[in-house]
């Protein structure tokens, strides 16, 4: 179908953007999904300096690349998280962390996400991918027993904090694509329904489809695409592989990535359990023709090998649509 294939730069943010541009061009990518960390795309500079935005565009163009979306997962995480601690300090800009007071961090993070919509508009893109955080993720085990009211308050908190942010997205003509992901307000099928209901299904709030987290939760990524077809605003291709052997657990056992005792791990696209051909066929069926972004993660493989290999693996399934139905030839002139 010749969709554009982009490389998400989040796992490459230790490198200068120009170096990543050169790599992506040589790998064969059409563009980049720019992360709002490292030096790749800085929200505050984008709003303060028109030359900065122009410079980002010129840099991409110099390497024959385009940008359809930017991503601000790290700051978005802090908007709703109930527990704000050293994990957040490690991923947030100093100006967002400030003195570390949790509510202050949440408010500054919310303001930055609103600014991210403005920065995206300045860059000329209409989609921001990210996380929401969650004030109720710590309740996922449902013990000690969780009163229903606590869960309801969590969705209300999400709607209250993200409503004003989404107002800015509306004003800027930009959409927020929430990545359905453990740790967020929407992490599986039913919590996605509840998150959409919490914000009254407003068009500014949609989804970034990343099937890697569906795999280890035993969810159907293809059915999810169909059921939420009007909310699929962006697609990230990340892969996971399960090793649930009776000792390795689904929840990871507090073990680091790549540890052989984990029940699942991220792997390069083409090396895991995502049914990519079915995914791409469903993307065609629902009419998704936007970018397909490779979010490369694999603790056991060099990214310099994995990123170009993943692109080749995924492009195999980007079929061109037929020009006519295959059974059209069965009819026609029946003269003997």
Structure tokens at 152: 């309801």
- Residue keyed to tokens 């569906």: 214
Q: What is the CA radius of gyration of the chain?
A: 21
Q: What's the pTM?
A: 0.95
Residue 52 has pLDDT above 80, yes or no: yes
Q: Rounded to an integer, what is the distance from CA 46 to the centroid of its chain? A: 21
Residue 334 has pLDDT above 70, yes or no: no
In degrees, rounded to 5, the angle at the alpha carbon of residue 229 between the alpha carbons of residues 223 and 231 is 125
Distance (Å) of CA 106 to CA 88, 93, 112, 138, 196: 11, 13, 10, 17, 21
Ordered by where they begin, the domains of the chain are 5-322 (3.20.20.150)
- Give the H or E element holding residue 284: helix 276-285
Pairing of strands 232-237, 292-294: parallel
64's CB contacts (< 8 A; 6+ apart) are 25
Q: What's the pLDDT band for 335 if we cut at 50, 70, 90?
A: low
In degrees, rounded to 5, the angle at the alpha carbon of residue 272 between the alpha carbons of residues 269 and 274 is 80
Residue 336 has pLDDT above 60, yes or no: no
The mean per-residue pLDDT over the stretch 2-19 comes to: 97
């Amino acid at each position: 179908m010749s969709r554009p294939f982009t490389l998400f730069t989040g796992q490459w943010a230790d490198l200068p953007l120009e170096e990543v541009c050169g790599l992506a061009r040589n790998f064969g990518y059409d563009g980049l999904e720019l992360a709002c960390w490292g030096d790749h795309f800085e929200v505050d500079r984008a709003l303060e300096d028109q030359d900065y935005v122009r410079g980002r565009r010129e840099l991409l163009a110099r390497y024959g690349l385009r940008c359809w979306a930017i991503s601000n997962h790290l700051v978005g995480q802090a908007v709703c998280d109930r527990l704000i601690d050293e994990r957040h300090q490690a991923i947030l800009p100093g100006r967002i962390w400030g003195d570390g007071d949790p509510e202050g961090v949440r408010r500054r993070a919310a303001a930055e996400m609103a600014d991210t919509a403005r920065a995206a508009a300045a860059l000329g893109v209409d989609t921001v991918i990210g996380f929401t955080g969650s004030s109720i993720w710590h309740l996922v085990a449902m013990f000690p027993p969780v009163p229903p009211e606590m869960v309801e308050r969590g969705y209300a908190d999400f709607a209250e904090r993200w409503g004003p942010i989404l107002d800015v997205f509306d004003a800027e003509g930009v959409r927020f694509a929430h990545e359905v992901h453990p740790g967020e307000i929407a992490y599986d099928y039913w919590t996605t329904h509840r998150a959409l209901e919490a914000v009254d299904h407003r068009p500014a709030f949609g989804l970034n489809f990343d099937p890697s987290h569906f795999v280890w939760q035993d969810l159907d990524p293809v059915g999810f695409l169909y059921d939420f077809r009007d909310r699929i605003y962006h697609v990230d291709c990340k892969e996971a592989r399960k090793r649930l052997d009776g000792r390795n657990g689904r929840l990871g056992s507090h073990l680091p990535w790549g540890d052989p005792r984990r029940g699942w791990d991220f792997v390069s696209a083409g090396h895991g359990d995502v049914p990519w051909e079915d995914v791409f066929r469903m993307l065609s069926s629902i009419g998704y023709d936007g970018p397909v972004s490779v979010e490369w993660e694999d603790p056991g493989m060099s990214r310099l090998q994995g990123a170009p290999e993943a692109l080749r693996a995924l492009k195999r399934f980007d079929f061109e649509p037929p020009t006519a139905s295959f059974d059209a030839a069965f009819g026609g002139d029946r003269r003997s």
